[in-house]
Amino acid sequence: MIEIEEKFKAPPDTESFLYLNLEPEEKILMVVRHHWAGFLPFLALFVGMILMPFLLLVIIGVAFHGIWQYGAYISLILSGYVLFLLTFLLGEWCNYYYDIIFITNRRIININQVGLLSRQSSEVNIVQIQNVSSDINGFFRSMFDFGKLVVETAGEGTSDEPKYHLGQEGYFTIEDVPNPSKLARLILDLHREAMDKRGLISSISGAPQPPISETHTPPPA
């Protein structure tokens, strides 16, 4: 039995995940959400966009005192602007919070939330995994230990990145994963366990087990 870290363990009640359409005897072992630090750049942009019109209004008000006679119109415009940004923030929050990686005893399922009412899903069978790698790029990601998880599969891949379209293998990439190297090892352990249960290890012609590679790209000087 594989020992799964507490932060990756699936909650006891998984009834809220019925939309996954699990197969018979398939169990959710891990539920992984994107790292919170991956949401910070958007949050910083949101705060900047909120503050910018108010700062401009103060600067213009100091230069042109007569602008305050249009205070009612200015308040109406600013209210609409803030409401628009809050709606935008809600959509991005839903995209962040409801993007979930489910790891079962048979599959890796990546749920990609698109807006408020739509979601996309992609999956890979555990036994099709050929390699697992993690890519932690830059100082910010290294400090908070999150990055990209890349699963190389024997089937068709789902990655949109051009560098993962080379060769015959498929690539399954997930961004902003917490502790990607630990998660990669857990996935590899699940792969080995699944292969062992199906008696497939001896049928791979003595090939070595799929390696885990981890890439840390230093920030530019």
H or E segment to which residue 151 belongs: strand 146-153
Q: Which residue has the higher pLDDT, 92 or 10?
A: 92
11-25, pLDDT tens digit by residue? 666 666 766 778 888
Q: Residue 31 pLDDT more than 80?
A: yes
The one-letter amino acid at 67:
I
pLDDT of residue 162: 44
DSSP lists the bridge partners of residue 123 as 109
Mean residue pLDDT of the chain comes to: 78
Q: Residue 48 pLDDT more than 70?
A: yes
Rounded Cα–Cα distance for residues 130 and 157 (Å): 12
pTM: 0.71
Tokens, residue 30: 């891990």
DSSP lists the bridge partners of residue 178 as 146
Q: What is the CA radius of gyration of the chain?
A: 23
74-131, pLDDT tens digit by residue? 889 899 999 999 999 998 998 888 888 898 888 898 888 887 778 888 888 888 888 8
Tokens, residue 47: 């705060």
